[in-house]
A and B are shown apart, each in its own frame.
Chain A
Amino acid sequence: MIARRHFLQAGLAVSALWGTGGVGNWSRLAAQQRLSQQDLLDFPTSGNVTLIHITDIHAQLKPIYFREPEYNVGVGDVVGKPPHVTGAAYRKLFGIETGSAMDYALTHDDFVALARAYGKMGGADRIATVVKAIRADRPEALLLDGGDTWQGSLTALRTEGRDMVETFKALGTDAMTSHWEFTLGIDRVREIVENELGYPFLGANIFDATWDEPAFDAYRMFERGGARIAVIGQAFPYLPIANPGYMFPDLSFGVRQDRMAEVVAEVRDAGADLVVLLSHNGFDVDRKLAQDVPGIDIILTGHTHDALPEPVLVGKTYLIASGSHGKFVSRLDIDIRDGELKALDHRLIPVFSDVIAPDPEMSALVDGLRAPYQAELSEVIGQTDSVLFRRGNLNGTWDDLICAALLEERDAEIALSPGFRWGASLLPGQDITREDVFNATAMSYPEAYRTEMTGETLKIILEDVGDNLFNPDPYYQQGGDMVRVGGMGYRIDITQPQGSRLHDMTVLSTGEPVDPARTYVVAGWASVNEGTEGPPIWDVVEAHIARLGTVSVAPNTAVRLIEN
């Protein structure tokens, strides 16, 4: 049984470490003086096994800004439960001081001011320093990658994931699972897994669609600290639905809860002392899986990009949420004795790039991988007056900008942009480089289509996506956020069933209600349908930014949650 003491100590350590500080009293220098690398990495080694978890880095090799969501609303049984807490509620729940470093890392409040004080986060070379420090304490520590690693940047797109594969090999990764990896196409995935990766690519729920047989290894057994540790992989369950299935036509996914129970039984029979699920299910799906499938000790969650400073205990299963984009590395020190988990110490390590020194070897590797693209990456397209961010259930300013580009550059009445949760943030006054545009758009089906849809079809699409996000049963959720709209407003009541959530759909240019019978010219991107035609979205966005010179994105008041 876990000692409560461990949690208390962790909580106290965080409070003591970050101290108090009023917003606005911080300068970058003060932040640096207050925080040291040793503060961030000092962790009393305990137990006999250490796990390191990184997930959803979305190909971000360099430090970035990333604003956490203001709206991350839970439905059904998880209303108000982590990770569905934001801002002040989040600070209260975890005892985080307003304006502190952890407030900056974990909430959206005062993001711009705090970002200027505390600087960018992440970066493969800083992560390498963290990993090396942990392995200095525990040389055998297992590094587990939750996936969404090979997609999300210009260089990952150009190299078909090779830059990320090289980087994660150099970090000393022991196993991974997957989601966006498959959007490189099944042939490239097979090529990497068979010839380049050098560590297992796990997915208990990846099946051959024709023969209904497992298509990838379900788990790998590791011997560490005198214990047998089974690491089971679970890929994103809804790949062929949320992403283009034609890119991996013979594969079937799904939650496959019964299959997971079988694999857990199999690894227990094979002598596993500790069962770890390296998951890309999304947090709420994992919470339900932990309730319904006994025998999993730890779930390293992913996909929904949540970062939590403490584990969430579901029955006897610890759920760990390690954030995204390289902002955090989770460290778990585990005491395994007599075939069971006796105690667990956990730390969500924030990767403050101005505090943690870059690892020189990794810096050199990353710079070498980026060198062929450096001129392209650094080209300045324009500037922004506004903070550009992606996360939020209904909209983000990056997507408002993309929608504006689609409306204007593609001469459309209504724009649709997918509710992705990946994409770095920019601060007011920053240049927008080509790298920044690709950080928000780089993927393998970028065609910006232009088509006609009736008002009725638009309603059906929004209701469908709404149910994928707000269905009260997590197994029917796909993660992601609401499809973003331009040229249109609506209100949404997330407590209603599909077909009844959307209200007051309005054409913004006229103020008229969206007419179900009328046909509208609609522009969008990232269609999952094969044969979609149009220029790549980054060309559309770059043309728009270049034409404006400086972009300003006003707060979006056209899409709103109906508060109950």
Chain B
Amino acid sequence: MKLTRRETIVLGFGTAITAMLPLAAGAAPEDKIKEFTGGAETVSEGLTLTAPEIAENGNTVPIEVSAPGAEAILVLAPGNPNPDVGTFRFGPLAGSQTASTRIRLAETQELVAIAKLSDGSFARATKEVKVTIGGCGG
């Protein structure tokens, strides 16, 4: 991976490396989760996944994941033709373990995020995001 000057500076300050590392395509979401957790149990505490309840534009949906102390956070969109969104990895000097980006959603679905916490345990969060035709409120 080639680092630009700006990214290098960001690294110097110990901020999260939010470069998206695409996962191997094609595997089912549950397999991806197993691959990430090694089959370990997940708990519901420790990870926040923020996304709108209804997408204003399915082509660019803002999401944020946050897990204090996490080493990495996996994000999946199981309803997409390719469910892999990416994995955010946080270095030991990261000031916070929060990342936000915009993703494309093909249809209404439940987003899944899994965080690997510093003690080696895993946290899971989900959020239903509706992708709608709209047009009749009022």
A interface residues with partner B (beta carbon < 8 Å): 179-180, 209, 212, 236, 238, 240-243, 245, 252-255, 258, 418-422, 460-461, 464-465, 467-468, 471, 473, 475-476, 478-483, 498, 526-528
Contacts and interface: CB of A to CB of B under 8 A. Distances in A.
16 contacts: A180-B138, A241-B54, A241-B132, A242-B137, A243-B138, A254-B53, A418-B136, A420-B136, A464-B132, A465-B133, A465-B136, A473-B53, A476-B130, A480-B137, A498-B108, A528-B135
B29 to A, nearest CB: 20
B62 interface: yes
B134 interface: yes
A464 B56 contact: no
B128 A476 contact: yes
Given A209-B56, A252-B62, A478-B136, 12 more contacts: A180-B138, A242-B136, A242-B138, A254-B52, A255-B53, A418-B135, A420-B136, A422-B138, A473-B53, A480-B138, A483-B136, A528-B134
Given A258-B50, A498-B108, A253 B135 contact: no
A407 to B, nearest CB: 19
Contacts of B56: 209, 240-241, 245, 252-254
A421 B52 CA distance: 25
Nearest to A245: B56
Given A242-B137, A420-B138, A468 B132 contact: yes
A242 B135 contact: yes
A93 B5 CA distance: 68
B44 interface: no
Contacts, number: 82
Contacts of B59: none
Q: Is the interface of B mostly helix, strand, loop or mixed?
A: loop
A209 to B, nearest CB: 8
A478 to B, nearest CB: 4
Given A212-B62, A468-B132, A241 B53 contact: no
A371 B138 CA distance: 29
Contacts of A471: 130
A166 B52 CA distance: 36
Contacts of B136: 242, 418-420, 465, 468, 478, 480-483, 526
Nearest to B51: A254
Contacts of B132: 241, 464, 467-468
B62 A461 contact: no
B57 interface: yes
A238 B50 contact: no
A33 to B, nearest CB: 39
Interface of B: 50, 52-54, 56-57, 62, 108, 128, 130, 132-138
Contacts of B138: 179-180, 242-243, 418-422, 479-480
Contact of A243 (B108, B133, B137): B137
Given A240-B56, A475-B53, A476-B53, A468 B128 contact: no
A469 to B, nearest CB: 8
Contact of B137 (A245, A252, A460, A479): A479
A528 B50 CA distance: 27
A335 to B, nearest CB: 36
Contacts of B54: 238, 241, 254, 476, 478
Nearest to A255: B53
Contacts of B53: 254-255, 473, 475-476
Nearest to B56: A240
Given A255-B53, A478-B54, A526 B135 contact: yes
Nearest to B138: A420
Contacts of A526: 135-136
A420 B50 CA distance: 30
Nearest to B55: A241
Nearest to B62: A212
Nearest to B100: A212
A242 B133 contact: no
Counting from the closest, the 7 A-B pairs by CB-CB distance are: A242-B137, A241-B134, A478-B137, A528-B135, A480-B137, A420-B138, A240-B56
Contacts of A255: 53
B66 to A, nearest CB: 11
B11 to A, nearest CB: 24
A471 to B, nearest CB: 8
Contact of B135 (A212, A473, A527): A527
A179 B52 CA distance: 18
B135 to A, nearest CB: 4
Nearest to B135: A528
A476 B133 CA distance: 13
A292 to B, nearest CB: 13
B100 to A, nearest CB: 8
A273 B130 CA distance: 37
B46 to A, nearest CB: 17
Given A498-B108, A527-B135, A240 B57 contact: yes
A254 B54 CA distance: 8
B50 A241 contact: no
Nearest to A417: B136
Contacts of A473: 53, 128
Nearest to A244: B135
A169 B112 CA distance: 48
A460 B133 contact: yes
B57 A245 contact: yes
Contacts of A476: 53-54, 128, 130
A498 B107 CA distance: 13
Contact of A464 (B50, B62, B133): B133
Contacts of A461: 133
A80 B45 CA distance: 35
A241 B133 CA distance: 8
Contacts of A468: 132, 134, 136-137
Nearest to A479: B137
Nearest to B52: A254
Contacts of A479: 137-138
B62 to A, nearest CB: 7
B47 to A, nearest CB: 15
Nearest to B130: A476
Given A212-B62, A254-B56, A478-B54, A236 B137 contact: yes
A288 to B, nearest CB: 11
